[in-house]
Structure 1
């Protein structure tokens, strides 16, 4: 976007092409279209800013962990393992939702939002894909976007008891957008320790529910990217979420602190605002019933080896 207008990439370039070329490719593309009049933003329907190669979602805010722990078992605590290294799970790149696109949740009594900032990976000269240092990881952060990690807390609660991680409690939708703000645009918001000192807020039907500073993360983004690359790969098009901010970044945290605020319902509007990035808005659509799955079969024959 240039000013208040949307300008397409030149020469048929796609977002994937630009990410593969990195920030230098983005600057070159901008130089070729900066005088293009474009189309007014009001006349354009924005889609998700990219189809991610993969989506890793971290849990990097201590306050969020405390609140969710209290909601699960009544104890506001952070396990010692959280402090040892960043932790993440993989979520579904095939259920990405764009700005304004309603979420269609499963049948749930505990639908929740999760306010996050995410980094988008691009190429950088000389940067490896594996075992990056934090310095090298910083060079492959192409930009930032807003992420809403929708959660069906009742489904998630059952799944987490199996000790593998969230599955259908989150598999149905992740909202991204409204656009990718290139990393250089937010360089001035980095504090002395490398954290993004920007404000994030979330409102439900116009009422402020949560607000936090992104700099309250336990690790800055380059360290999350570096950890993700350990004995693995991060590639252009990967998305890495910060995890839910504290101080009401989700309803689950508030429930853990005694709030009686109701779960999201059909028709609710969730508006997320992040300083320097923009606003990501979505409404809750109708729940979608899925075919039933039978319980595990009881074995009636002898096991063989």
Structure 2
């Protein structure tokens, strides 16, 4: 299923899914209040709610509460995640980005998947405008896939991690590279360089939808990024060096993961200007439109504006 959060013509924000008739279903309205009015609450009790949907889906999708997609505006499918951990799991991206800075690959990268926490209160959705931070002239996009935790767990083993994944969406880990570069010289970061926005969406696609596309340590899903209609980046989720299971094992080591937390993959190879080099494309500027697409997960498009 493709879960969504959307705004209706009257300005009310609703949550639900896209049905077989390509309509947006307001799950709270369609179920007469049995299903919650937001995606986070749904994920927290999704086993119970999915059972209800399975028994009543025909009635829910043919009754009140369905709206043509062209009459609603999609928002970030999970606008209020409990946290966002972003990993560094694609080898090509890491190697090339380090080479561009005159650095060799470090052996520790191959030993453990590493991550940082980004700002879970700065979530943006499809078509949202992204403000370029003040004093930033090196703004960048990052083409990523992310999963959402659906089941609580601690010290989760990689081989058991799938049962803890609710679904996946596209993620754009926007970056202020000049702020990031300055901060990381101190030995911390890249927090401030990533503090201003993270785009997700347009849908939260449940894990079962991708089951038949498993390949390598990921899935056979093409990943493409365009700026102002021009393709700059292309990769595949199957190029992951660390699987989502390995990322979840690392994230949950000594820590409890809760439903509604987000785990990002990090940037796919070629998936940002930092890696490509400014000889391929200049840093992003106000007026630029960035479009990320992943097979089965839709298209996530945002325009940059001045702060």
Please report the TM-score for the alignment, with normalisation by the length of structure 2: 0.86
In the superposition, relative to structure 1, how do residues 91 and 69 fare at CA in structure 2: closer, same or farther (>3 Å)?
A: same
RMSD: 1.6
Match of 1:253 in 2: 275
Superposed, 1:233-252 pairs within 5 Å as 233-246=256-269, 248-252=270-274
Q: How does 1:213-228 map to 2 (within 5 A)?
A: 213-228=236-251
CA contact (8 A) 1:138 1:222 kept: yes
Residue number among 262, 265, 268 corresponding to 2:288 in the alignment? 268
Q: 2:147 aligns with which of 105, 113, 119?
A: 119
> Could you tell me which residue of structure 2 aligns to residue 45 of structure 1?
73
Q: Which moved more, 1:7-16 or 1:198-207?
A: 7-16
Q: Check if 1:56 corresponds to 2:53.
A: no
Once residues 23 and 88 of structure 2 are traced to their aligned partners in structure 1, the CA distance between those partners, rounded to angstroms, is 35
Q: For residues 36 and 105 of structure 1, what CA distance do their matches in structure 2 show?
A: 43
Cα offset, 1:28, TM superposition:
2.8
For 1:177-216, list aligned pairs within 5 A. 177-191=201-215, 193-216=216-239
| Corresponding residue SS for 1:119 | strand
Displacement of 1:198: 0.9
Are residues 1:99 and 2:126 paired?
yes
CA distance in 1, matches of 2:122, 2:112: 28
Q: Deviations over 1:3-23 (max 9, x none)?
A: 321001132512122211235
Give, in whole Å, the separation in 2 of the partners of 1:263 and 1:283: 14
Structure of greater relative contact order (alpha carbons < 8 Å, 6+ residues apart) = 1
User: Structure 2: how far apart are the matches of 1:102 and 1:158?
Assistant: 26
Relative to structure 1, the CA distance from residue 177 to residue 19 in structure 2 (aligned partners, 3 Å threshold; closer, same or farther) is same
| Partner Cα distance (1:138, 1:35) in 2 | 32
Match of 1:291 in 2: none
Aligned to 2:154: 130
Q: Which residue of 2 aligns with 1:169?
A: 193
| Structure 1: 5+ residue stretches without partners | 289-305
Over residues 192-250 of structure 1, what are the superposed CA-to-partner deviations in whole Å (9 max), with x where a residue is unaligned? x542121110000110100001111111111111211000111100000000000x200
Superposed CA deviations along residues 159-207 of structure 1, whole A, max 9, x for unmatched, are 111111212211000001001000000001112x542121110000110
TM-superposed CA distance for 1:39, in Å, is 0.7
Aligned residue pairs, count: 277
Instruction: Write the distance in 1 (CA, Å) between the matches of 2:88 and 2:95.
Output: 11
Task: Give the Å deviation of 1:78.
Answer: 1.9
Do the aligned residues in 2 keep the contact of 1:23 with 1:122 (CA within 8 Å)?
Answer: no
From the superposition, tell whether residues 23 and 277 of structure 1 become closer, same or farther in structure 2 (CA, over 3 Å): farther
Structure 2 residue runs of 5 or longer lacking an equivalent are 1-17
